[in-house]
Chains A and B, each alone.
Chain A
Amino acid sequence: MRNVMYSLETACSNTWRDKWMNLLSAFLICSGLAIFGSFLILSFNMESAVRKWFNDFSIVIYLNKGISSDEEEALKNFFIQDSDVLSLRYISKEEALLELKDMLGAGSRVLESVEENPLPSSFEIKMKREILIPALLRQKTALFSKVPGVNEIQFGEEWLESLIRTSMILKSLLLITGTALASTVIFISYGTIRILFYRRMDEIETLKLLGATRRFIRMPFLMEGMIIGTAGGALCSLSLFASYRLVSLRLMELMPSLKAFLVTMPEGIFFYGPAAGAVLSFIGSYFAVGKIKY
């Protein structure tokens, strides 16, 4: 415990001693984390949009003409009991016609010449997220299409494929950017602590002669790295929070429809920013100090 206190005291006084260099490193770490943070926020927003699209995704099962209401009820029970079905909405012929008219708007006049409602009744089924993969969905719809009373099944296969592709690209980009920027932050800390380590070489040699263990020598450097990283992370959180608020408010002013997609900045950013800075800087510092030889 006393050694931890000594390390913390030494780290704080050393951080202050080399304040300009440490401040510069904190700003660099802040920049690295801020780029990653911006990308993360952008991804969150896009992911939120993709999730919303996934939630809205449904398959439509058109029923045979002239099907009785008992048969419709039986079909409804059959589909709802399927373990992959999330929810089901029955759309009668009449409702379908109304929806079509709504969709056509002014052009709905063409339907006035049609004497008999040509639209079939249908089920709009939302499937569980796990099954929203084209191959699985094809299997499932093939199974449903064999059920007596089912005329045709439609789902936007291409739309689903592009949704999945977008989601995959986002995740890959996030992983690549995250790895690259995390490495950058580690490298900045590595460089800073390495320079500080060499600048304090005489001091380290004296400590070694006095009988200091590796841990005793290394700890203040690791803590100093963590202090710089935490400061960089905190700066990053503050700047991200402020700029995201400004940008999102401005965007919503310009495009109100974006409101449905824009995610609110999680308050956790005030913890994760400094924590990420501290952890990444700790790793960089650990490698910078290296193995102390006697």
Chain B
Amino acid sequence: MIRFTKVSKYFGKEPVVTDIDLHIDKGELAYITGPSGAGKTTLLKLIYMAERPEKGEISVSKWDLRKIRQRRIPYLRRDIGIVFQDFKLLFNKTVFENIALAQKIRGVKPDSLRENVDRILTDVGLAHKSGSFPEHLSGGEQQKIAIARAMVSKPLILLADEPTGNLDHASAKTILSLFKEFNARGTTILIATHNSALFTDTGRKVIYLKDGKIEKETTG
């Protein structure tokens, strides 16, 4: 589903990731971990093409990222759901409108749109917050909405960059169980985190990054 072959990325002359070989299978839930500045976020950005590598090849699902033109990037991103530490919700829109936006971008018909948004809100347990604005929600609830927005269009892949970074332990656990649930339904999930509690004893693939290189790949 995601394959990196000898991928390197530099900021100026400074290497951020070097010679990365990585393979995430379809339906897998894997973790990338490492200290700050190890290159976790850059690695995710390379997948959704917010950054381009200087060397190497990346393929994501049917996409060969070397061959994608600028105007095709939105279509790649429609195959990927992305969740961030700071949620990136639109504060002038309600919960419903925030999630619906992902559907409108894809040109989904209004009837199906309402159905899909209601369904995903039920999945994340926040159907009763449909008309609320994000600022009236807790951090955990905001992250659930961000996940709902990322998952409403059933992407093939879900990328999460420090998804529990701003959350307390209980909320982090809930978010993680949501990821597991979506993974069980077939979505490939890649989570970048420095919080080892998230992957310890999960039996999932854990990729350790250090100084932009893969230090080791183990099972959590």
Stretch from B9-17, B31-39, B68-76, B204-212 forming part of the interface with A: B68-76
Closest-CB distance, A292 to chain B (whole angstroms): 9
Which residue from A203, A205, A211, A293 sits with its C-beta under 8 Å from B70? A293
Quick one: CB contact mask for A136-151 with B, threshold 8 Å, 1 for yes? 0000000000000000
A208 at the interface (CB under 8 A from B): yes
A55 at the interface (CB under 8 A from B): no
A242 at the interface (CB under 8 A from B): no
Contacting residues of chain A (170-216) with chain B, CB-CB under 8 angstroms: 202-203, 205-214, 216
A2 at the interface (CB under 8 A from B): yes
Q: Given A2-B109, A294-B73, A294-B74, are A207 and B82 neighbors across the interface (CB < 8 Å)?
A: no
Chain A residues in 8 Å Cβ range of B119: none
Which residue from A3, A6, A205, A208 sits with its C-beta under 8 Å from B74? A208
A17 at the interface (CB under 8 A from B): yes
Stretch from B57-65, B97-105, B125-133, B179-187 forming part of the interface with A: B97-105
Contacting residues of chain B (101-133) with chain A, CB-CB under 8 angstroms: 101-102, 104-107, 109-110
Chain B residues in 8 Å Cβ range of A294: 49-50, 70, 73-74
Chain B residues in 8 Å Cβ range of A214: 71, 74
Chain A residues in 8 Å Cβ range of B77: 208-211
Q: Are B49 and A210 in contact (CB under 8 A)?
A: no
B154 at the interface (CB under 8 A from A): no
Chain B residues in 8 Å Cβ range of A216: 74, 105
Considering the chains assembled together, what is the distance between the CA atoms of A27 and B125 in angstroms? 48
Closest-CB distance, A249 to chain B (whole angstroms): 49
Chain B residues in 8 Å Cβ range of A3: 104, 107
Chain B residues in 8 Å Cβ range of A202: 88
Question: Nearest 6 A-B pairs (CB), nearest first?
Answer: A211-B78, A211-B77, A294-B73, A211-B74, A212-B105, A213-B74
Would you mind naming 10 contact pairs between A and B with Cβ atoms under 8 Å apart? Answer: A17-B92, A206-B89, A207-B101, A209-B50, A210-B101, A210-B102, A211-B75, A211-B77, A213-B71, A294-B49
Extra pairs beyond A210-B77, A210-B105 (7, CB < 8 Å):
A3-B104, A17-B92, A206-B89, A209-B88, A212-B74, A212-B105, A216-B74
